[in-house]
Amino acid sequence: MEKCGNNKSSNHADSAMSFWKKNSKTVPGRPSPSKESLSWGKPKSSGGTSSFQDFQDSVRDAWDIEDDEFSVISAADVKISKKVAQSTALSVINSHRSGSISSPTKLSSVQPQPDVQHTNPVKSAPSSTKPSGTSNSGPNPIVNANIESVYKPEPASVYSNLPNGNSEIPIVPGALRNNLAAKPRVINRLETESEKVKADKIRSLLQGTGSTDLKELQSLSYSGLPVSVRGTTWKLLAGYLPANIERREQVLQRKREEYWKCVQQYYDSRKEESHQDTFRQIHIDIPRMCPLIALFQQRVVQEMFERILFIWAIRHPASGYVQGMNDLVTPFFVVFLEEVLPPDLEVETFDVSRLKDEIRNNIEADSYWCMSKFLDSIQVNYIFAQTGIQEKVKKLKELIERIDAPLHHHLQRHEIDYLQFSFRWMNNLLMRELPLRCTIRLWDTYLSEPDGCGSVLLYVCAAFLRHWREQLTRQNDFQGLMLLLQNLPTQNWESSEISLIVAEAYRLKYTYDNTHWH
C-alpha cells in the first residue's frame, strides 16, 4: 500500500503514535491507554532513516486493520485508482470462487461483541469446585446426542446434572444460530483404519512401563496425530507432563492446582491501574478470534481465555500480552475439550457451560500450561520490537531468493515487502491463514520439534509461500499481490494439504538448515 502525505511536517510525523512503543509509561509488549490516531502517512526522511523506523513503516501492513483499535486511516491519505481497486478485488474474488467453495459464510453475519459486560468469574481450585449445571441464557438449539449411549460405565461423568433428567446437550446460545448451517468444521473426529493403527502404536508408548520414549513420540507426531491420542501426546511434547508414567497423575494434579492458585492471587489485579491496559486489550481481542466458530463466541469460553492470557501476561513481564497471543490458546483448548466429549458431538457447537466445573477448570489449566510451555520456546518473537520475528522474516526473504529467484524478483519488482505479509504469518504461526482443523494438524508438527517450532516455522512459511507461486505470478500489480497474500483461499483445505506443506518444509530444512545465509 503506497504511503502518501508528503505535505505533512516532520514534527507531526514524529508525534504520531508508534506501533511498538506508545508512551514512556508502557511496559514493552503491552498495550497503551493512549487513543491517539496513528498517521500512516509519514513522509520519507531526507536523511538516513534508522532500520527500526524502516521496520515500523514496513510492518504496518502486516496486521488486519481491525486488529489495532487505535489505527485510523484517512481516506485522503490513500490514493488508489477506483477502477484498479475494483478490478483487483474482482480478480481475487474469482480466484476464491475457483476453489470450489460450496457454502461461503459472510463474516459480516457474525459480529464480535467487545462491549459485553464482564463478570468476575474467579474460580477455586478444581478440588473445591462443584457442578453447577447452569448454561448461557437464551433459547438453545439441541444436538440430538444421548450421553448414555456414548459413555460407559459412567456415561454422564463429565457433565453437569441436567434438569428433569434431560441428557441432551444444547449447543451455543442463539446469537450464532443462523450461521450454523454454513459453519466451518473444526476437526474431523473420526479416524481412518491407518489412523487407528497409528493410535494403537502411540497408545502403547503412552501406557507402557517406566518412561515414554519422547524421541519416538516426536517422530510419530511429525506426520500428524490421530484424534484419540492427540491430547495426551501434546501434553507430553509440550513438556507439561513428565515422560515418567508413574509421576504423571501427581504432576497433573499439582500443576492444575497451581494455576488456580495463580488465578486467585493475581486475577483481581486486572482492576489495578498498572494492569488495566493489559486486561483491556485482552478483553477486546478475544471476541475477534475465530468469529465464524460458534464455540469461541460463548461468554464462558471467552472468560476462560481472559484468565489464561492475563495470568500469562502477569507471569511473563518481559513480553506481557502481545496481540495475536489469544490465537495461540485455541488449538490447545479445542484438543483438550474434545478429549472429554463423545466422538459424535461437534466441538465447534458444543455448549461448554454444560461441562462440570471441575472438568472445565482442568481444560483451562491444561490449556494455560501447554501454551506457556510452548511460548517459552519462541518468546523472543514477542519481546519488545519482536526481534525474533524480524530475524525470521529476513531469513525467509533470503531463502526464497535462493530457492525460487523468479518468485522473489516478481515480489520485489512490484514492491512487495516480505514484512507486509509474513510478519502476520510468523506472529500467529500461520493460524490466521488456515482453517482451525488445519492449524491443529500443523501443530502436531510444531510440537514434535525439540525447539517448539522455533526453526521449522521458517521453512513452513517458505513452503506455504511457494505453494501459491502460480497464482502470485499471475498478479501484475501491488494491489493484486497484497490482496491475494492477505486472503489466501484455504477455506477448503484439509490435513492432506498441510501434509504436503510439512513435507516440503522438511525437505527445505534438511537441505538449508545450518547453512550460510550470506
Positions of the chain with pLDDT lower than 70, given as ranges? 1-187, 515-518
Domain count, the chain: 1
| DSSP-H helix ranges across 449-514 | 456-467, 469-474, 478-486, 495-512
Give residue 515's pLDDT.
59
If you search the block for the grid coordinates 482443523, which residue do you land on?
A: 437
Is 292 among the domain residues?
no
Give residue 355's pLDDT.
96
Is 60 among the domain residues?
no
Is 464 among the domain residues?
yes
Give residue 81's pLDDT.
57
Phi–psi pair at 218, nearest 5 degrees: -65, -40
Q: Which three cell numbers stand for residue 431?
A: 493460524
- We report the CATH number of the domain holding residue 416 as 1.10.472.80
Q: How far apart are CA 427 and CA 28, in angstroms?
A: 16
Is 396 among the domain residues?
yes
CA R_g for the chain: 24
Is 455 among the domain residues?
yes
Give residue 118's pLDDT.
40
Render pLDDT for 416-468 as a digit per residue (tens, 0 to 9).
999 999 999 999 999 999 999 999 999 999 999 988 787 899 999 999 999 99
Tell me the residue range of the domain where 492 lies. 384-517
Give residue 191's pLDDT.
87
CA distances from 49 to 18, 46, 53, 221 (A): 15, 8, 7, 46
Closest CA to 444 of 212, 175, 125, 220: 220
Q: How far apart are CA 280 and CA 90, in angstroms?
A: 38
Q: How far apart are CA 471 and CA 467, in angstroms?
A: 9
Is 76 among the domain residues?
no
Is 330 among the domain residues?
no
126: number of Cβ within 10 Å: 20
Is 199 among the domain residues?
no
